[in-house]
């Protein structure tokens, strides 16, 4: 299942998928827990590397292991019920912000996000003693298409409309910090990693956005709003950044718990 306060601050981000357009993820139908009935792996797949349990970060081992999962995630892993995230599909992102420079309500539906397959893992660290799993991702370009329904104000400018929206985010850098626990998988009793808490921080180098059918098709007003959003893209994202980060954490939490629940540690921590 984004994802505000300072119009003078620069740069904000979004990910993986995630990641969206301008606003509060008060709720999304991309749930925090993504459960399926597929059994976990009992034989290590070829793409899953192994690391020493005593020192999983030795020679950047966990970094390489983590990065090695991405091609499989891009393609999808149907045998354990993990869907492809290229493109990443999100049913809905709700918007609810009622004060400050932005006053908006409504949301975005049927989001299709392309570009997660080009993710590069900048850093990945697993500390079993401190129960931490942290990583940093770089995404050069995310392209988002969706339906929108919004009404409210940006500064003193009114914004109202519904229709198609297209957005491009460039140079997206995401840092993810988690607290984990080691649990027994319910079906087999095998030990798995579970993410209990997650925080996301992000930066976006640039944003382009186009909202169609603003003001019931008034092209003059629509052009003004779209021009304003694009001229002030970094400031818009910075204004929304705290809520975007919460929304991304919600999406990532479910994605990674779904994967880790299907990868017993006996297969990759030796």
Q: SS3 of 176, please? A: strand
For residue range 126-162, list pLDDT tens digits in order.
999 999 999 999 999 999 999 999 888 876 778 899 9
DSSP 50-91: -B-SS-TTGGGHHHHHHHHTHHHHHH-BGGGTBPP-SSEEEE
- How many whole angstroms separate alpha carbon 215 and alpha carbon 88? 29
Average pLDDT over residues 14-40: 43
pLDDT of residue 14: 29
pTM of the complete model: 0.76
Judge: domain 68-267, CATH 3.15.10.30: yes
- Cα torsion for 30, 108, 23, 138, to the nearest 10°? 60
Residues paired with 137 in a beta bridge: 121, 174
On the question of pLDDT at 51 being above 80, the answer is: yes
**Dihedral class, residue 265 (left if φ above 0, else alpha if ψ from -120 to 50, else beta):** alpha
pLDDT of residue 253: 86
- How many whole angstroms separate alpha carbon 144 and alpha carbon 86? 12
CB-neighbour burial class of residue 10 (10 A; exposed 0-12, middle 13-18, buried 19+): exposed
For residue range 183-230, list pLDDT tens digits in order.
998 778 999 999 999 999 988 888 899 999 999 889 988 998 899 889
Q: SS3 of 117, please? A: helix
Residue 64 vs residue 89, higher pLDDT: 64
pLDDT of residue 2: 34
- Give ∠ CA 260-263-267 in degrees, rounded to 5: 140
Q: Nearest Cα to 22, choosing from 200, 233, 228, 251?
A: 233
Residue ranges per domain, the chain? 68-267
On the question of pLDDT at 260 being above 60, the answer is: yes
pLDDT of residue 264: 95
- 83: its two tokens: 């869907």
pLDDT of residue 240: 67
């Amino acid at each position: 299942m984004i994802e505000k306060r300072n119009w003078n601050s620069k740069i904000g981000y979004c990910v993986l998928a995630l990641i969206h357009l301008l606003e509060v993820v008060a709720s999304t139908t991309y749930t925090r827990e993504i459960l399926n009935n597929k059994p976990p792996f009992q034989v290590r797949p070829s793409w899953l590397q192994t690391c020493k349990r005593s020192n999983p970060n030795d020679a950047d081992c966990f970094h390489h292991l983590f990065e090695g999962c991405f091609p499989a995630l891009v393609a999808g892993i149907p045998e354990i019920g993990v869907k492809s995230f290229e493109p990443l599909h999100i049913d809905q992102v709700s918007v609810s912000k009622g004060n400050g420079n932005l006053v908006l309500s409504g949301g975005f539906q049927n989001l299709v996000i392309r570009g997660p397959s080009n993710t590069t893992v900048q850093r990945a660290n697993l500390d079993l003693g401190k129960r931490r799993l942290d990583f940093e991702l770089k995404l050069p370009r995310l392209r988002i298409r969706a339906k929108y329904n919004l009404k409210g104000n940006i500064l003193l400018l009114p914004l109202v409309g519904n229709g198609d929206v297209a957005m491009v985010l460039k140079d997206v850098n995401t840092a993810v910090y988690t607290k984990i626990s080691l649990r027994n998988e319910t079906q087999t009793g095998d030990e798995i990693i579970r993410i209990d808490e997650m925080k996301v921080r992000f930066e976006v180098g640039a944003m382009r956005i186009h909202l169609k059918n603003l003001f019931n098709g008034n092209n003059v007003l629509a052009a003004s709003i779209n021009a304003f959003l694009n001229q002030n893209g970094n400031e818009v994202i910075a204004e929304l950044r705290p809520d975007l980060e919460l929304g991304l954490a919600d999406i990532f939490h479910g994605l990674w718990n779904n994967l880790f629940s299907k990868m017993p540690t006996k297969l990759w921590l030796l």
